[in-house]
A and B are shown apart, each in its own frame.
Chain A
């Protein structure tokens, strides 16, 4: 047991180390001006997708339930986070109270509050969805989460939110139905999504969110609750027989996963000047699921690497013009095959061995 714990803490240190080293290296490169604009623009999305992948890994890899609506939680986080940030900014502009004005004019405070609120809202929805859904399992859960993601997308694209002297107004009909006063601001404009967002996200904020995510997820996995969650995954009946509440631990993993996705959604929304509901559709859910599957179910470090590589890859492939989609798909298939195909792994090992032949290697039992 002690050795096992030792091994997992070494493993965790490696994961933290990887993230911190990557951050420091990129900061240094940025300071030296050695990074292209294309990569600079992708730094925040990369951090967002890492958090998305790690949080989904908690549901899919650790809890062992297939969720196809992770983008729905991201959407809730994005919308509530962006609304929060915009409202706080309006409040800071209009209020006469000094401490509110000074406090909310600080971008990092607005950003942290937006991520917090985004996470809380997504968590609440995760709970509400979880109440009926987590009593189902297997394919049923996958189908219900899929439907949830689509419902969120459609609801968000008819949502209108405005702000004027009388407070916040919400409508599901049209912007005219908000009946805003003169000088009122439309924050969410139906299919146009949230408009006029002040860009607050930064690479450092994304890095901190990744660290928080890792601390929560890694500590959870290695805790008593985490072992209970893994027990639920491995054998539900055996777990119930020793008195562990299956529903409670599933809910715990599911809500934490949703909350982190919500915070990532808020970070994502505040990186662009507009965000639309259409972005968080089924494709985005599947994209994040691909990160998790390619990185390895339950393998947090794998999720981080897969999310980074697969976010950068389509941009690197721009050089292939119209063939880039095809190339991307081919690369995905090749990676899948290599990961899961014994013969191919053998081929790679042979290639690797041939390459390293020039180096003197000591083999067990000497040369044959």
Chain B
């Protein structure tokens, strides 16, 4: 390549990229009423991208459905934060420049703590689909959660295990470098103690050591555990199931909502998950009409089975829609006014929302959601209700 061509080549490359980037933004349909601007933040790239992309896709489907109904119109602008608090606050400020009126997000917990502090200061209503730590909503009247809080899951899991007499000797394997996992673990242990459940083995791992669980499993086996509690995500869980099978250790396995997604994992032998119990707010093969139609749409658009994060994203948009549909709000309503109105509606006892991730949800004053968990177990490769 000649010298000058080299320079031209680089410039052309950059310009081509600019052109491609332009294509990604589809021009929005012209509508009669100006849409209300929903901002979304979550990891679309990096290690946690699977959660952010699911929420963004789910929320997008909800926005399209609502806009097709007529009435209130929404416009969604979803920004990437790479699961990093600094990037998340940057994304938040970009959305503020854009004129965001309501925030859908953020998807992951510690970026959400940082962003919620900003949105609290700016008076922008925030409804997070999946940031589950109580720290997210603590002390902020404008921030609400769509998912269970971590401690709640720990307590409910212990309750389930004791009331249904699922096991007498319990082993726990959790990720002690993960806020979600430790949050559930801590409450589970104190609740188990209060309910006289015997915890015989507690072992940990971190994201860097999540490739071999033989040590943890043999400790559980040696301690004679007949139930292994896994407050972790589905990727390490799948490995634990496979390794337990290989060492002929067959206790009951009990997971939480992070376990959801295990059946859709690529190259996962679903017979391994046979009999696994989990608490999850959403099951993609539930028979009700709304879930079925959402799953069908999601599969058509994204060629993938939606997980609970997609359902959470979908529900967040619908909850905001339900709250605002009879109200006199427009694209000109300032964010702070919308914030005050929405806080009033969400903390009102009369506001009950039913979505894909639960029926009859109500929100407490501190922003946590109350909805019944669904106990499931896996039979022949599908979820079956436990009750």
Contacts and interface: CB of A to CB of B under 8 A. Distances in A.
A195 B113 contact: yes
B336 interface: no
Interface in A155-188: 157-158, 174-176
A191 interface: yes
Interface in B104-143: 109-110, 113-114, 116-117, 133, 135, 138-139
A334 B3 contact: no
Contacts of B178: 191
B90 A276 contact: no
B17 A320 contact: yes
Contacts of B13: 330
Interface stretch (A2-10, A22-30, A267-275): A267-275
Contacts of B177: 154, 157-158, 191, 278
A252 to B, nearest CB: 31
Contacts, number: 129
B3 A343 contact: yes
B143 to A, nearest CB: 12
Chain B facing A: main interface SS: helix
A157 B182 CA distance: 11
B3 A275 contact: no
A236 interface: no
B6 A344 contact: yes
Interface stretch (B20-28, B219-227, B243-251, B312-320): B20-28
A344 B9 CA distance: 12
Contacts of A327: 14, 17
A206 interface: no
Given A191-B176, A273-B117, A325 B45 contact: yes
A192 B135 contact: yes
Contacts of A41: 89-90, 92-93
Interface residue tally on A, bucketed by range:
35 or more
Interface string A124-149: 00000000000000000000000000
A315 B14 contact: no
A268 to B, nearest CB: 8
Contacts of A37: 93-94, 96-97
Given A38-B93, A279-B85, A315-B90, A323 B110 contact: no
Chain A facing B: main interface SS: helix
A347 B4 contact: yes
Contacts of A227: none
A273 B113 contact: yes
Contacts of B190: 176
B150 to A, nearest CB: 10
A324 B90 CA distance: 15
Interface string A307-336: 000000011001111111111001100100
Nearest to B189: A176
Nearest to B139: A196
A245 B84 CA distance: 43
Interface in B1-42: 3-4, 6-7, 10, 13-14, 17-18, 20-21, 24-25
Interface of A: 36-38, 40-42, 45, 154, 157-158, 174-176, 189-193, 195-196, 199, 272-276, 278-279, 314-315, 318-327, 330-331, 334, 343-344, 346-348, 351
5 contacts: A174-B182, A174-B185, A195-B135, A272-B85, A347-B6
